Structure 1
Amino acid sequence: MPQIFISPSKYVQGPAVTSEIGQYVAPLGKKVLILGGIRSIEAVKANIIHSLALHNVQYHIETFQGESSDNEINRMCMIGRNEKADIIIGIGGGKAIDTAKAVGFELDVPVAIVPTIASTDAPCSALSVIYSDEGVFERYLVLPKNPDLVLLDTEVIAHAPVRQLVAGMGDALSTYFEASACARARARNIAGGTMTQAALAIAELCYEILLRDGYKAKIACERKVVTEALSNIVEANTLLSGLGFESAGLAACHAVHNGLTVLEETHPYCHGEKVAFGTLTQLVLENRAMDEIEKVIDFCHLVGLPTTLADIGLENADPKQIRLAAEAACKEGETIYNMDMEITPDKVYAAMMAADALGHVYKQSKETVWMQSSSLVL
């Protein structure tokens, strides 16, 4: 089986780069369908429209309806055909971006991606995650190529909700552990081959940057400023995690996320928040050393990522519900089968419950330390 590494044609990141998008888009097409949520488009609309006009690129803006579902993809395709669009620009978060990539594929036109939040590793990948109109995971749509352009304005990210940046860290957190699992199993990656050493090194670098700069980036985002730490985390969340997961592979972390989507209580939570809990579940499933698990839990606690089922809306969940999520994580074709072990719903259920217990123990120990230190001060 060949080793395969894939990536977007061009990645542009920096302050105010949305004001330069015209120079990158003009060689790709002359009539753009811009799709994204209302707030996402408003965040970059003035810069983008001015830049497109400077480069004689026409545009039509269409509001994304919220789910990267077959119905929404078909609706956007119809609009694209009617407008004779020869390039798609997807603006916003993961679901708008995945819809744009799918529409570009269906219309056979170039795709440019402009994330307004660094919440997932979707922007760089040749993959769209398809959900039902109700938000339940349905399938992965593997695309023949990556986006032609990914353009990420760090000033826009700095002014976006902090929770979204942290959720992106949760998504990126899984990259190294899933890559490691795929390396041990010699599993196929998203591109249909095995991983290169470059992909594994990128995944490991992604994890190192998260631990080093994650908390500092969160603080910068809270103050709405672009620092070196914030720029590094934006790159880790978007480029490094995107290249890492796609060219190294996915395993249990994302499969557990997909399983959790069958439970309506989890729908208000971000993709990366559920992936973070999926990462803890994978570590338990692999029976990783406690120091490794504690390092991940400590990071999650520091930046504000979930470590328990209660943190993703399942505080009062019946064990039968968790078992349903475990069964969904083990559906035929799921990435959990890239693990180098026998996988059963019972094992996944047990790992989810044990991960939840470890998260609770960690929280209780932190509270105890805080209470002891407070009593000493008093």
Structure 2
Amino acid sequence: MDTIIISPSKYIQGNGALDNIGKYVSVFGQRPLAIADDFVMGLTRERVAASSEQENLKIGFDIFGGECSRVEIERLIDVCRTQENDVIIGIGGGKTLDTAKSVAYYSKIPVVIVPTIASTDAPTSALAVIYTPEGEFSEYLMFPSNPNMVIMDTGIIAAAPVRTLVAGMGDAMSTYFEARANGLSGKATMAGGVPTRAAQALAKLCYETLIADGEKAKVAVENGVVTKAVENIIEANTYLSGIGFESSGLAAAHAIHNGLTKLEECHHLLHGEKVAFGTLTQLVLENAPQSEIDEVLNFCRTVGLPTNLHEMGVKALNHDKLREVAKASCAEGETIHNMPFPVTADSVYAAILTAHQLGL
């Protein structure tokens, strides 16, 4: 199997980076279409329009309908065709960004991704999650290439709810441990091959950055300011974790996250909050050293990530439901089978209970 690494063509990060978007987008086309939901459009439109005007771009704006569905994607494809747009800009959260990726793919035009939060590592990936118009999961859409450009305005991201940055840390925290497991098993990653040393190094750097700067970054954004620690954590949550997960592999932590969606009590949690507990469960599953588990537990408690099922909203343990979670985590095709040893629903159930107890 070949070694493969994939990534966006260009990653840009800085406080006020949005004010330079016209210059950055102009290399791809002269008639961009920017999509964002109502709130984000109000937050960013004036700055995007001013920057585009400086570069003499004929920019169009369209309000994203709120769901990354086939219906919304087709609507925006028609808009691009009618307005003869030659590049699409997605500004906002995950569903807006996935819609922009999808419209660009089908319209055969470049895409520029502008996240307004750093809650997951999805912005850099060659993947979109498609939902029905009613909001139910429909399918994954895999793209042949990653976004042409990702722009992270750290000033905007630091002004978002603190919880979103912390959730991003929870998602990023799993990157190194899943990459390590996937590397030992030798299974193919989402990039279609085995990990490069570069991707594995980025995954490790991601974890090291979280431990070094996570608490400092949280304190800074709680006070509405951007520090070097904030810059480092935004890069870890987005770029280091994004390249790390896609080109180094997923394993048990994300599969356990998917299993936890079976618990209604956890539906209010953000993606990274569930992944954090999935990471603890993976460490128990592989019998990681207690010192490593303690470091992860301490980090979670310091930044405010859940370390047990009670903190995730599960007031009383229902063992039948927990067995359903374990079974769903081990479904055919789940990434838990990238672990370097056979995994069963029974072993996951045992690891969930143990991780919960250790995290109390």
Q: Separation in 1 of the partners of 2:263 and 2:67?
A: 17
Amino acid at match of 2:340: D
Whether 1:233 aligns to 2:236 is no
Where does residue 199 of structure 2 map in the other structure?
Answer: 199
Whether 1:187 aligns to 2:155 is no
TM-fit CA distance, 1:258: 1.9
Residue aligned with 2:225, SS: coil
Residue aligned with 2:357, SS: helix
Change (3 A) 1:206 1:44: same
Where does residue 331 of structure 1 map in the other structure?
Answer: 331
Structure 2 gap ranges (5+): none
TM-score (norm 2): 0.94
Where does residue 147 of structure 2 map in the other structure?
Answer: 147
Amino acid at match of 1:303: V
Where does residue 104 of structure 2 map in the other structure?
Answer: 104
TM-fit CA distance, 1:172: 0.5
Q: Separation in 2 of the partners of 1:81 and 1:328?
A: 42
Matches within 5 A, 1:1-378: 1-131=1-131, 139-316=139-316, 318-360=318-360
TM-fit CA distance, 1:308: 1.4
Aligned residues: 360
Compare 274-283 and 121-130 and name the one that shifted more: 121-130
Does the 8 A contact of 1:137 with 1:258 survive in 2? Answer: no
Q: Deviations over 1:182-209 (max 9, x none)?
A: 1100111111011011111110011001
Residue aligned with 2:32, SS: strand
TM-fit CA distance, 1:83: 3.7
Q: Deviations over 1:161-187 (max 9, x none)?
A: 111110110111010001000110011
Change (3 A) 1:17 1:291: same
TM-fit CA distance, 1:214: 0.3
TM-fit CA distance, 1:222: 0.6
TM-fit CA distance, 1:107: 2.0
Does the 8 A contact of 1:8 with 1:125 survive in 2? Answer: yes
Q: Deviations over 1:19-67 (max 9, x none)?
A: 1001111121233232233223333222111111222323333333444
Q: Deviations over 1:61-87 (max 9, x none)?
A: 333344434444344434434443322
Q: Separation in 2 of the partners of 1:247 and 1:298?
A: 28
Q: Separation in 2 of the partners of 1:118 and 1:358?
A: 28
Residue aligned with 1:3, SS: coil
Q: Separation in 2 of the partners of 1:332 and 1:136?
A: 21
Q: Separation in 1 of the partners of 2:261 and 2:35?
A: 25
Change (3 A) 1:145 1:321: same
Change (3 A) 1:307 1:138: farther
Residue aligned with 1:24, SS: helix
Amino acid at match of 1:203: A
Q: Separation in 2 of the partners of 1:294 and 1:354?
A: 13
Compare 174-183 and 347-356 and name the one that shifted more: 347-356
Change (3 A) 1:137 1:288: farther
Where does residue 376 of structure 1 map in the other structure?
Answer: none
Structure 1 gap ranges (5+): 361-378
Does the 8 A contact of 1:128 with 1:141 survive in 2? Answer: yes
Change (3 A) 1:100 1:311: farther
Question: Cα RMSD over matched residues?
Answer: 1.9
Q: Separation in 1 of the partners of 2:116 and 2:253?
A: 25
Compare 29-38 and 76-85 and name the one that shifted more: 76-85
TM-fit CA distance, 1:328: 2.3
Change (3 A) 1:66 1:300: farther
Q: Separation in 2 of the partners of 1:63 and 1:352?
A: 42
Residue aligned with 1:58, SS: coil
Change (3 A) 1:149 1:219: same
Change (3 A) 1:66 1:318: farther
Identity of aligned residues (%): 53
Q: Separation in 1 of the partners of 2:317 and 2:50?
A: 50
Q: Separation in 2 of the partners of 1:59 and 1:2?
A: 41
Residue aligned with 2:9, SS: coil
Change (3 A) 1:244 1:50: same
Does the 8 A contact of 1:33 with 1:80 survive in 2? Answer: yes
